[in-house]
């Protein structure tokens, strides 16, 4: 059980998962929360990270910092994706060990599972095959982060745990179309088309792939739950259990935004994996379940987009 008086370091606090975790930590009464933006602490620089941990001595660590993006970014920024994520993971995990962090949570990714994995994906399917090729650099980096945590636990006895969230979305997501994930990209596309009066939107792929999505506040809630109740070296899935095709998701986002045009799919563009659904039986048996439906989550995300992101761009 985390002590509310303990010093907590939350990396990536301005991002999607980090910002949700920060809000929840504050709501739960944590007073001593360490956050640093990139200008104050470059997590890819080993000496800077070690100095920070040595000076601050956090008791707990949430590793939400990562270089992330959608299919386009993953295909074009392969070197940056693997280098940045490997450096961030190695530096934080090693510094946490050296400085005596009591417990660390590493956020992995569902793309760490094999592309041809049986569905839904159980934790024991990890490392039984090759990841999907469109995001291989990011996937390999996340696999390395998991392995680092497990190796430091095995050799040094560190209580480092690894959670695997399904596709997360929510407030403070990245809505830049160059590297956005599917839900924020759809929100941005449909919103812009509505404002411009476009009569048709063309989306990548066939629309047939199925994906599982989870609202970022649910991931934050699961993270604190695991930090209080989970101490195994094995990875653990965080899923909503709600699976939807890209086509149906597109129509849902279209309805929430109120776009009246039509949707077409460019079948010459890649789909990615045909299906990604996590088996969340393990965390469900411990007593945790997702609460926010996909419809409610998209409405909340679009409300934030209008009030915060879009308003700041105009």
Active-site residue, 107 included: no
Question: Shortest CA distance to 225 belongs to which of 215, 214, 236?
Answer: 236
Query: CB atoms < 10 A from the CB of 261, how many?
Result: 15
List the catalytic residue out of 60, 107, 138, 215.
Answer: 138
Q: Which two tokens stand for residue 286?
A: 């411990």
Query: What DSSP letter does each residue of the chain carry, written as one string?
Result: ---TTS-EEEETTTSHHHHHHHHHHHHTT---EE---TTT--TT-HHHHHHHHHHH--SEEEE-------HHHHHH-HHHHHHHHHHHHHHHHHHHHHHT-SEEEEE--GGGS-TT--SSBPGGGTTSSPPPGGGHHHHHHHHHHHHHHHHHHHHH---EEEEEE-EEE-TT----TTT--HHHHHHHHHHHHHHHT-SEEEEES-S--EEEEEEHHHHHHHHHHHHHH---SS-EEE----EEEHHHHHHHHHHHHT--SEEEEETTS----SEE-B--HHHHHHT------HHHHHHHHHHHIIIIIHHHH-
Q: How far is CA 9 from CA 52, 71, 231, 241, 307, in A?
A: 10, 30, 19, 30, 29
**CB-based contacts of 37, cutoff 8 Å, min separation 6:** 13, 14
The set of catalytic residues is: 138
């Amino acid at each position: 059980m985390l002590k509310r008086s303990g010093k907590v370091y939350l990396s990536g606090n301005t991002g999607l998962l980090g910002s949700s975790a920060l809000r929840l930590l504050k709501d739960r009464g944590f007073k001593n929360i360490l956050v640093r933006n990139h200008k104050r602490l470059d997590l890819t620089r080993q000496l800077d990270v070690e100095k920070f941990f040595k000076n601050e001595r956090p008791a707990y660590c949430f590793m939400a910092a990562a270089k992330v993006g959608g299919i386009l970014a993953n295909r074009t920024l392969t070197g940056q994706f693997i280098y940045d994520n490997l450096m961030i993971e190695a530096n934080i995990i090693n510094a946490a060990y050296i400085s005596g962090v009591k417990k660390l949570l590493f956020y992995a990714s569902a793309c760490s599972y094999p592309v041809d994995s049986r569905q839904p994906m159980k934790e024991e399917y990890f490392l039984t095959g090759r990841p999907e090729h469109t995001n291989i650099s990011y996937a390999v980096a996340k696999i390395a982060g998991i392995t680092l945590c497990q190796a430091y636990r095995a050799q040094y006895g560190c209580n480092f745990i690894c959670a695997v969230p399904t596709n997360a979305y929510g407030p403070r997501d990245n809505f830049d179309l160059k590297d956005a994930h599917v839900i924020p990209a759809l929100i941005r596309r449909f919103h812009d088309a509505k404002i411009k009066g476009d009569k048709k939107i063309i989306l990548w792929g066939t629309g047939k792939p199925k994906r599982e999505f989870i609202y970022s506040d649910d991931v934050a809630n699961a993270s604190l739950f695991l930090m209080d109740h989970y101490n195994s070296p094995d990875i653990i899935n965080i899923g909503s259990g709600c699976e939807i095709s890209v086509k149906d998701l597109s129509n849902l986002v279209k309805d929430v935004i109120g776009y009246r045009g039509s949707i077409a799919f460019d079948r010459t563009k890649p789909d990615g994996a045909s299906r990604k659904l996590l088996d969340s039986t393990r965390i469900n048996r411990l007593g945790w379940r997702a609460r926010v439906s996909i419809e409610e989550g998209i409405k909340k995300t679009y409300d934030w987009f209008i009030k915060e992101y879009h308003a700041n761009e105009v």
